[in-house]
Amino acid sequence: MKLALKAIGHGFLGRPVFEHVDLALASGEVVALIGPSGCGKTTLLQIAAGLVEPLRGRVHRAYRRHAMVFQEPRLLPWMTARDNIGYGLRASGAERAMSADVAARRAAEVGLHARDLDKYPAELSGGMRQRAAVARALAVEPDVVFFDEPFTAVDVGLKRILQDLVIAAAARDSFSALFVTHDLAEAVRVAHRLVVLGGNAQGLVADRRIDGTPGARGNREVFDLVEAWSGEPAFRELFDGERESAA
């Protein structure tokens, strides 16, 4: 196991968010974490990544290096795209030439053109900035990547492209990933396994292995699985939340 969370409990201002959460991440496995708004998905991811200390339980990490992709690109505005992508390498002591070479390679892998690498974040489109954020995470050759709803703010067409980039990168580089999303269809597309975090401090209410391989599931297969799960009690709260948001 690359990562194991045991009996994790957390809360804010005396209010529990979740209790007794057990979650494991195997080598090369992409796990999607979904749940209704406010259930603590991002908090659980931050605990897994070591950004937040849980009130209860323990986290065991058996890997060398991890990276994160946030909801916003979080690029440093005074650095070019090239320097932003190579920032983690430079911070770990890599030489500038080596960092620049890796940045160029990772940028190409996520669909950023070489001509865009010397632009600053303000000169890039939102989609280009998010591509740079993914490239920055991959540049440090992580064993585990934490994705915190990274494609929520992009349009549907670009979201599909970015999902495919993550799927291809995970298969190519064999990293493990915890992918937080509120979109069940996205979870089914990108992950090997799906876990559902319930609201009202319920903890994990479902843990499902998804048949097939990420990237190889057709649209009909994804749609049918989402439709089948949408009627189950473990997923009802997620869909009720979406219906309330649409109302």
- Whether 69 is covered by a domain: the verdict is no
Domain around 117: 75-142
- Whether 193 is covered by a domain: the verdict is yes
- Of 142, 159, 183, the residue at which a domain comes to its end is 142
Tell whether 153 and 137 lie within a shared domain.
no
Which pLDDT band holds residue 233 (cuts at 50, 70, 90)?
confident
Q: What confidence tens digit (pLDDT) does each residue in 50-71 have?
A: 999 999 999 999 999 999 999 9
Average pLDDT taken over every residue of the chain? 91
End-to-end C-alpha distance for the chain, whole angstroms = 42
Tell whether 35 and 79 lie within a shared domain.
no
Which pLDDT band holds residue 246 (cuts at 50, 70, 90)?
very low
Tell whether 156 and 232 lie within a shared domain.
yes
Tell whether 148 and 221 lie within a shared domain.
yes
State the average pLDDT over residues 122-142: 95
- Whether 101 is covered by a domain: the verdict is yes
Measured between alpha carbons, how far is 155 from 136 in angstroms, rounded to an integer? 21
Judged by phi (left if over 0) then psi (alpha if -120 to 50, else beta), residue 183 lies in: beta
Tell whether 55 and 153 lie within a shared domain.
yes
- Whether 216 is covered by a domain: the verdict is yes
CATH code for the domain of 151: 3.40.50.300
Q: How far is CA 100 from CA 11, 92, 105, in A?
A: 42, 14, 9
Tell whether 213 and 227 lie within a shared domain.
yes
CA 128, chain centre distance (Å): 17
What is the percent of the chain with per-residue pLDDT over 90, rounded to a whole number? 75
**39-45: long-range contacts, CB 8 A cutoff, minimum separation 24:** 39/197, 39/198, 39/199, 40/10, 40/197, 41/149, 41/180, 41/182, 41/197, 42/148, 42/149, 42/180, 43/10, 43/17, 43/18, 44/5, 44/8, 44/10, 44/18, 44/197, 45/146, 45/148, 45/178, 45/180
- Whether 70 is covered by a domain: the verdict is no
State the average pLDDT over residues 26-35: 96
Determine the pLDDT at residue 247: 37
The pTM of the whole model exceeds 0.85: yes
- Whether 170 is covered by a domain: the verdict is yes
Determine the pLDDT at residue 243: 44
Tell whether 101 and 123 lie within a shared domain.
yes
Determine the pLDDT at residue 239: 65
Tell whether 134 and 100 lie within a shared domain.
yes
Q: Output the CA angle 149-82-51, nearest 5 degrees.
A: 40
State the average pLDDT over residues 106-133: 94
Which pLDDT band holds residue 128 (cuts at 50, 70, 90)?
very high
Question: What is the number of structural domains in the chain?
Answer: 2
- Of 99, 126, 142, the residue at which a domain comes to its end is 142
Q: What confidence tens digit (pLDDT) does each residue in 187-229 have?
A: 999 999 999 998 888 889 999 999 999 989 999 999 999 998 8
- Whether 79 is covered by a domain: the verdict is yes
Determine the pLDDT at residue 164: 93
Tell whether 236 and 192 lie within a shared domain.
yes
Tell whether 14 and 131 lie within a shared domain.
no
State the average pLDDT over residues 155-179: 93
Please state the three-class secondary structure of the chain as a single string.
Answer: CCEEEEEEEEEECCEEEEEEEEEEECCCCEEEEECCCCCCHHHHHHHHHCCCCCCEEEEEECCCCEEEECCCCCCCCCCCHHHHHCHHHHHCCCCHHHHHHHHHHHHHHCCCCHHHCCCCHHHCCHHHHHHHHHHHHHHCCCCEEEEECCCCCCCHHHHHHHHHHHHHHHHHHCCEEEEECCCHHHHHHHCCEEEEEECCCCEEEEEEECCCCCCCCCHHHHHHHHHHHHCCHHHHHHHHHHHHHHC
What is the percent of the chain with per-residue pLDDT over 70, rounded to a whole number? 96
Measured between alpha carbons, how far is 51 from 48 in angstroms, rounded to an integer? 8
Tell whether 81 and 48 lie within a shared domain.
no
- Of 142, 169, 200, the residue at which a domain comes to its end is 142
